[in-house]
Amino acid sequence: MELSVYKIDGTESGKKVTLDSGIFGIEPNDHAIYLDVKQYLANQRQGTHKTKEKWEVAYSTKKIVRQKGSGGARHGSIKSPTFVGGGRAFGPKPRDYSFKLNKKLKQLARFSAFSYKVKEQSLTIVEPFSFENPKTKEMIKIFTNLKVNARRILFVLPENSDNIYLSSRNLQNIKVISVNELNTYDVVNATSLILVDGVQDILQAQYGRN
């Protein structure tokens, strides 16, 4: 499977790269993607939610009405969940939402996400470039030249570049990451996936594909 490499001015460079069919051309597994995305989102949760239960509310424990003869229901304490300001019954408690997944399943999910982008023709490869200084206008110009779906763009670099990252920081629909930060959720969530030439080689070496 071959893709053309584009220059940042939107024209073809004349170079073509061969993508590993074991990474970018498999039959996508939707359930693997679901599990990996579920794990990613679960790991983002702080799990610090907490409400006070009946025994934690700082109110008097005095019985507020007598047991019988009031004509109403029995009440033992103003801390009861039936009163405004009382404790909450079965409220949320701090917990850890994270869970583990098999390494091969996570790889399958990632390969499936890449393969979907190839099938959707949402994958673009550009020549390596750099900025001497952060320039947001230059980043906007690059994406305009490439004519990609700009709704949500994931831009993947072979290695970190502060100037490129800073150039895109104020753009809400663009996320710039390095290849080591790739995850299934970001790939699936993006409407356009842009790889800087060289990322595909790193992925091939990382996953041991020939």
Structural domain harbouring 33: 2-46+97-206
Q: What pLDDT does 150 receive?
A: 85
For residues 110 and 174, membership in a common domain is answered with yes
Q: Tokens 């995305």 identify what position?
A: 37
Strand partners, 193: 123, 154
Q: Could you say which of 67, 91, 115 is where a domain stops? A: 91
Is there a contact between 67 and 74 (Cβ–Cβ < 8 Å)? yes
Q: Tokens 């206008």 identify what position?
A: 137
Residues whose CB falls within 8 Å of the CB of residue 139, separated by 6 or more in sequence, listed in order: 164, 167, 168, 171, 174
For residues 65 and 105, membership in a common domain is answered with no
For residues 112 and 185, membership in a common domain is answered with yes
For residues 117 and 149, membership in a common domain is answered with yes
For residues 69 and 103, membership in a common domain is answered with no
For residues 67 and 41, membership in a common domain is answered with no
Helices (H), the chain: 21-24, 30-44, 103-119, 136-146, 162-168, 184-189, 199-206
Q: What pLDDT does 209 receive?
A: 54
The domain spanning residue 12 has which CATH number?
A: 3.40.1370.10
Would you write out the chain's pLDDT as a tens digit for each of its 210 residues? 789 999 999 999 999 999 999 999 999 999 999 999 999 999 999 999 999 999 999 999 899 999 999 999 999 999 999 999 999 999 999 999 999 999 999 999 999 999 999 999 999 999 999 999 999 999 999 999 999 998 999 999 999 999 999 999 999 999 999 999 999 999 999 999 999 999 999 999 988 654
User: What rounded mean pLDDT belongs to the chain?
Assistant: 93
Is there a contact between 202 and 191 (Cβ–Cβ < 8 Å)? no
Torsion of CA 13, 15, 20, 25, to 10 degrees: 50
Q: What pLDDT does 1 receive?
A: 77
Q: Could you say which of 36, 71, 91 is where a domain stops? A: 91
pTM, 2 dp: 0.84
Q: What whole-number distance in Å separates Cα of residue 136 and Cα of residue 118?
A: 28
Give the single-character DSSP code of 75. -
Q: What pLDDT does 208 receive?
A: 67
Residue 187 has which token pair?
């790939």
For residues 37 and 65, membership in a common domain is answered with no
Looking at the structure of the chain, the number of domains it has is 2
Q: What pLDDT does 210 receive?
A: 47
Is there a contact between 130 and 86 (Cβ–Cβ < 8 Å)? no
